[in-house]
Chain A
Amino acid sequence: MIAETGLAALWLAAALALLQLLLAFAGLKGGKPELLAAVRPAAVAQGLLTAIAFALLITLFLRSDMSVLLVATNSHSMKPWLYKFAGTWGNHEGSMLLWVTVMGVAGAAVALFERALKRDAHMATLGGQAAISLGFYAFLLFSSNPFARIDPPPPDGQGLNPLLQDPGLAFHPPTLYLGYVGLSVAFSFAIGALLTRQVDAAFARAMRPWVLAAWVLLTLGITAGSYWAYYELGWGGWWFWDPVENASLMPWLAATALLHSVTVLATRDALRAWTIMLAVIAFSMSMVGTFLVRSGILTSVHAFAVDPSRGSFILALLAIYIGGALALFGWRIGSVREGAPFELVSRETMLVANNLLLSVILGIVLIGTLYPLMTEAFGHKVSVGAPYFDRIAGPLALALMVVLAAGPLTRWRRDSASAVGKRLIVPALLLVVAAGVLAILAWGRIGVLPFLGLVIAIAVGAASIAPLWKRKLLRTPLFTWGMVIAHLGCAVSLAGMACDSAFTVEKLVAARPGDTIQTAGWTLRFVQIMPVAGDNWTALQADMQVDRGGAPVLIRPQSRFFASPPTSTSEAALLTRWNGQLYVVLGEEVEGGRWQMRIWWKPFVTFIWLGGIMIALGGALALVGRERRGWLLKWRARREVEA
């Protein structure tokens, strides 16, 4: 019954989405407010129904109901409950249901909480949200039904990919999807604005919180995914330029650009057409990413099932939505008046430079990701990987960091180059000093990019806190704090990346119990190797006593074996210190009772994700700060009216 109820809820939600679209269209076209009055309730009901369907699927997984095909193929009754729960979205159908649920709930949120938009624009936005939802309902119901039954039910399920059996699965996909699909709201806002021809500062102020919220969650999701890959895959890498990672990076780049251009539109009423374009691109990139990941065109830990018909379905959706939105853009943008003009040396120009660089990086990541697919069509298999992206996108990212340092120190409308230069004196001095010190200490031993990265990170770190200089810290608006923390986070993250690639010390050894290994100031004593057992795995576990002069700490890397499906994984042991992480992986046994071990000392590697969290936190503070100010202004206005 549970599965059937879930399916019914999905069909009802799809029907409501159709109704929502028709009501909004007919109401706006015919000028019938009574039809428009029903749009918001339809959106809310749709959100509720998708949430119910999702909750029911979770219930099926928690109960290990093997009569449901999806549970039987992706779960196992012996799994710990957390992985039964999170396993709900650790497969194709479940993750698409999560996608549709986030879209439905986001639509309901826009219906319930959006107050700043004018009525017609609001209704057109909800109509747009319903239109994109419909395609994904169709995809789910016609080609990826999560509630299909299997008869007769198997005695037990086939289990979940052990690589996914990690607490990361409970956090990374939901936050990533909230961000990914949350961008659909920005897309719908753009559609609504184009249809009602209302692209102005008020529109930008209404859209900004939604963009910020999606961006914060996307940032967290990517950060979590990166850390997960780092500790789970056991090779010490934190970003592989894997097409699937690129698929999440592209919407983030577009959303980051959008976040900044929407601020220009909200503050200065400039960049109108461009902001609309970015809102369309951001969610389009989410859809392109989903196509890449879900179509089976790529195979990776994320591509759960390979089914060409699904690929064509998503490709068709992509063509309809992206093509449709761009056509609407081309048709209507001529009627959007050009925004306010601006001077060469101004905050606006800095933000335009930010947008330019982010867009070019986005273009590079997109073409680098798609290029192997294109050449394969011509029968020539090539790989585009880290060497290409690092070399091409790396310098642009560093240039972006320089803009990031100068932007917040430049005034809106008009500023003078010499004044901006003066404000940047301290960071510039730091840059020179850091470059000198680093050149003396490590010349010839580190690459050009890590060298520049570290030096720029130090200067940008100083520049990013400069907006707080000589201000009363407690009276500084929360959104300024948000900007400062997010920008500082970029510098922190960059410093982490540069330190990791410049100073990581790797040691590969084959050691016997009793052996002592020295590396990077650490002493590791291999005490013993023991078998251990978990809920659904057994493992060989090495006891290592490690120290660098102080009291020794026991760390335990494992080599795990899962019975269903039969797989082995390595669980790295990580020891975190303020200035880095010791990363130890237990490999296979080699001749003479010795064990392969990979040991890395990674200075300041944790800064990468700390920076990511700071960026998200900054976004959250900006969101809360802006919203709070809005409430306060409204509250004061109301009090004045009453008085």
Chain B
Amino acid sequence: MKLLLALLMALVAVPAAAQTALPPAPWADRQIPDAAQERKAKALMETIRCLTCQSQSIADSGASMAGDMRSQIRERIMAGEQPEAIRTWLISRYGDWVSYEPTAAPILWPLWGAPLLFLGLGLLLLRGRIKRRKSR
């Protein structure tokens, strides 16, 4: 049984060894002792896209790059940086793509405007109908 375990460990060890080539990420899977800070970091991580996986935030990705980014975020939060400053830094480094939170860039105005437009249009239609019907 021990031998089998050792064999399996060796199997796992290969990717683990490959990862040591990357800069260390001590805070990838370690929580900040201060709960309020950890909450802030976690909230930010949930809105940052994992760049090597599909449609996952770095808060729920097993990819090593996501781990690096989590570690970076925790370290910066502990150093007292504000989450939005960290987001800006990440965007400057990886582009708008990295943030699940759409920015206020002009290309995104229609995205923010659309819900209001839909709701306004719907209400307008509805108001006309009910009024018209009441007057009958």
A299 CB within 8 Å of chain B? yes
Counting chain B CB atoms within 10 Å of each CB, the highest count among A299, A383, A506, A559 belongs to A383
Counting chain B CB atoms within 10 Å of each CB, the highest count among A242, A356, A598 belongs to A356
Q: Are B122 and A531 in contact (CB under 8 A)?
A: no
- Alpha-carbon separation in the docked complex, A359 to B60 (Å): 31
Q: B103 — which chain A residues lie within 8 A by C-beta?
A: 382
Decide: A233 near B60, CB < 8 A? Known: A381-B96, A510-B30: yes
Q: A341 — which chain B residues lie within 8 A by C-beta?
A: 133, 136
SS of B interface (majority):
helix
Q: A559 — which chain B residues lie within 8 A by C-beta?
A: 12
What's the minimum C-beta distance from A602 to chain B, rounded to whole angstroms?
14
Q: Which of A251-302 contact B (CB under 8 A)?
A: 298-301
Q: B61 — which chain A residues lie within 8 A by C-beta?
A: 235
Q: Are A596 and B60 in contact (CB under 8 A)?
A: no
Q: Are A387 and B115 in contact (CB under 8 A)?
A: no
| Per-residue contact bits, chain B 19-50, to A (CB 8 Å; 1 contact, 0 not) | 00000000001110000000000100011010
Q: A507 — which chain B residues lie within 8 A by C-beta?
A: 31
| Per-residue contact bits, chain B 89-102, to A (CB 8 Å; 1 contact, 0 not) | 00000011111111
- Chain B, interface size category, equals 35 or more
Choose the segment among A362-370, A470-478, A615-623 that binds chain B (4+ C-beta atoms closer than 8 Å): A362-370
Q: Are B56 and A240 in contact (CB under 8 A)?
A: yes
Counting chain B CB atoms within 10 Å of each CB, the highest count among A233, A243, A387 belongs to A387
Chain A residue at smallest Cβ distance from B111: A371
- Alpha-carbon separation in the docked complex, A233 to B100 (Å): 20
Q: Are B30 and A364 in contact (CB under 8 A)?
A: no
Q: Are A380 and B107 in contact (CB under 8 A)?
A: yes
Q: Which of A507-548 contact B (CB under 8 A)?
A: 507-508, 510, 529-531, 538, 540
Decide: A531 near B136, CB < 8 A? Known: A360-B115, A384-B111: no
A237 CB within 8 Å of chain B? yes
Q: A367 — which chain B residues lie within 8 A by C-beta?
A: 110-111, 114
Which listed residue, B4, B107, B126, touches A356 by the CB 8 Å rule? B126
- Alpha-carbon separation in the docked complex, A384 to B59 (Å): 16
Q: Are B107 and A359 in contact (CB under 8 A)?
A: no
Q: Which of A294-316 contact B (CB under 8 A)?
A: 298-301
Q: Are B118 and A359 in contact (CB under 8 A)?
A: yes
Q: Which of A379-395 contact B (CB under 8 A)?
A: 380-388, 392
Q: A359 — which chain B residues lie within 8 A by C-beta?
A: 118, 122
| Per-residue contact bits, chain B 49-71, to A (CB 8 Å; 1 contact, 0 not) | 10000111101111000000000
Known pairs A234-B62, A384-B111; list 11 more (Cβ under 8 Å): A243-B55, A363-B115, A367-B114, A368-B111, A371-B102, A383-B96, A388-B100, A507-B31, A538-B8, A561-B8, A570-B62
Name 17 A/B residue pairs within 8 A (Cβ), A-sorted.
A240-B60, A243-B55, A371-B111, A375-B107, A381-B96, A384-B100, A385-B49, A385-B101, A386-B46, A386-B47, A387-B102, A507-B31, A508-B31, A531-B1, A531-B5, A531-B8, A559-B12
Residues of B within 8 A of A (CB): 1, 4-5, 8-9, 11-12, 16, 29-31, 42, 46-47, 49, 54-57, 59-62, 95-103, 105, 107-108, 110-111, 114-115, 118-119, 122-123, 126, 130, 133-134, 136
Residues of A within 8 A of B (CB): 233-237, 240, 242-244, 298-301, 341-344, 349, 352, 356, 359-360, 363-364, 367-368, 371, 375, 378, 380-388, 392, 396, 506-508, 510, 529-531, 538, 540, 559, 561, 570, 587-589, 596, 598
